[in-house]
Amino acid sequence: MKDIYELLNDIDIDEKELEEIEASEIEKEKVKRNVKQSIRTKKKIKSWKKGVAAASILVGLSVATLGIGFPTYAGGLPIVGDIFRFLDNGRTGLYENYKEFSTELNMTRESNGVKVTINDVISDGRTLSITYSLESEQDLGEDPIILGGLDIMDAHGSSGSGKMTKVTEKKYVGMVTTTHHDSNKKDKVNFRWNIERIEMPDRKKSIQGNWNFALTVKSVDSKERTIGGNSEKEGIKANMEKVAISPVSFILYYNQEVSKGARKEWDSVDVELTVKDDLGNIYS
């Protein structure tokens, strides 16, 4: 099965029909950076693909969205309009609908010459994602790291991740995500984001500060459907319970049963699921 880029290679595009559009300085810098990265790595690449779009497919749904065109990043924010898509390199893909369904906050905390602004926040009841912009009086290098946990209150355990990208001199944008491990989704999510310091690995420096946020966000609506089915192998059984579908996520709920024999053989057992949709895509 061809991937989306290989399919796009077969599309004939008439350059005469292309229209020029105005590009902000931010967009120009983004393009320059991507071109430089391509030049540095081209010797390692045997073939190339037209990276103009990507498919967005919800698992279990016969829906595929394809968009072709130059993404527009500049918007109402002082740095970048849609940080979700900016961090996804402007593609039509993982963060396609995040901006539309997110809550715009633009809440700022400033400490020791660094201003951190929460731009947008979105929750599907289990996973909380925050986009932020950062402006500093001094340049923080190419890959600064924010240290400070994003915590969902009243949650019994959580895990998360984050990423930050330099936009221009002394300006950065990023996203931080956390998922709680409770069995049920939350209609409203109370969370804290307390940033303690900002590390600059390439300069072996850090900035201590106080950038603390405490907020409540309403989760986007989702539909749940009870499903059946199970699979058993080597004394371990996985039972499917339900799926929850929202405009920004697809969640599969399941439980596992471990036989006495398996518990004697292994200290702990975790089931790894592989999900395949009707378009041939595999998720794990």
The 10s digit of each residue's pLDDT in 198-253 is 999 888 899 999 999 988 888 877 777 888 888 888 888 888 888 777 766 677 77
Region 182-190: mean pLDDT is 78
Could you please state the CATH topology (level 3) that the domain comprising 102-220 is classified under: Immunoglobulin-like (2.60.40)
Percent of the chain with pLDDT over 70: 61
Amino acid making up residue 283: Y
Region 20-31: mean pLDDT is 55
Could you please state the CATH topology (level 3) that the domain comprising 223-283 is classified under: Immunoglobulin-like (2.60.40)
How confident is the model at residue 100, as a pLDDT? Answer: 56
- pLDDT bucket at 16, cuts 50 / 70 / 90: low
Q: How far apart are CA 61 and CA 249, in angstroms?
A: 12
Sequence ranges of the domains in the chain: 1-101, 102-220, 223-283
- pLDDT bucket at 155, cuts 50 / 70 / 90: confident
Q: How far apart are CA 120 and CA 105, in angstroms?
A: 6
Query: Which comes out higher in pLDDT, residue 30 or 116?
Result: 116
- pLDDT bucket at 183, cuts 50 / 70 / 90: low
How confident is the model at residue 30, as a pLDDT? Answer: 52
* Alpha carbon 146 to chain centroid, angstroms: 16
Q: Is the pLDDT of residue 10 over 80?
A: no
CA geometry: angle 50, 53, 54, nearest 5 deg: 110
CB 6 within 8 A of CB 49: yes
Q: Is 38 helix (H, G, I), strand (E, B) or coil?
A: helix
